[in-house]
Amino acid sequence: MEDKDIINYVKRQIEDWVVGDIHRAIEGGSKVGAFILTACAIDYLASFWSGTASNARKYKAFVADFFDEHYEPEDLYRSLRCGLVHNYTIKGSAYLLVDAKPELHFQKADGVTILNLEDFAEDFRKAKDAYFERLDMDPTLQHNLARRYKRVGILGLIQLESGMGG
């Protein structure tokens, strides 16, 4: 597969599987699940952006580069991403998670930043769109994405031949 075909395929899969799953989780009432998926999706895009496995530095750099300035990369990484993914809780006191309260998004309560789920998911979508827009014009980012794809692939369904799989 040519790099341009890889890029188009990865973009479609991210739309269908990553963004789609986040929205399906929200619609299905899996609120914490949707926050976790979004935190993981940032990590995922950071790996395609850098061309290598994501780590704290790359995650924070991706957030700083593509997210609204209201997001503090260190807090988002440590408190939300690491807290939710590894401990199923928020580490420290950086964020308070809510849903269906857009008027509270980025407001402060006792020094803690409120993240409204639907706005957080939309902010991820905007960051993804900004990354894809830059990807379309930047050969280095295209190379990075293709390199990462060739190393680890991307999740997707495959069609099994009739009679296989039970």
Of 125, 122, 119, the closest CA to residue 99 belongs to: 119
**pLDDT digits 0-9 by tens, 39-79:** 999 999 999 999 999 999 999 999 999 999 999 999 999 99
Domain segments of the chain as ranges: 3-152
Global pTM value: 0.91
Count of residues for the chain?
166
Q: Write the CB contacts of 8 (distance below 8 Å, at least 6 apart in sequence).
A: none
Tell me which residue has tokens 């997707």.
156
DSSP state of 102: G
Band (164; pLDDT cuts 50, 70, 90) = very low
Of 96, 59, 50, the closest CA to residue 78 belongs to: 59
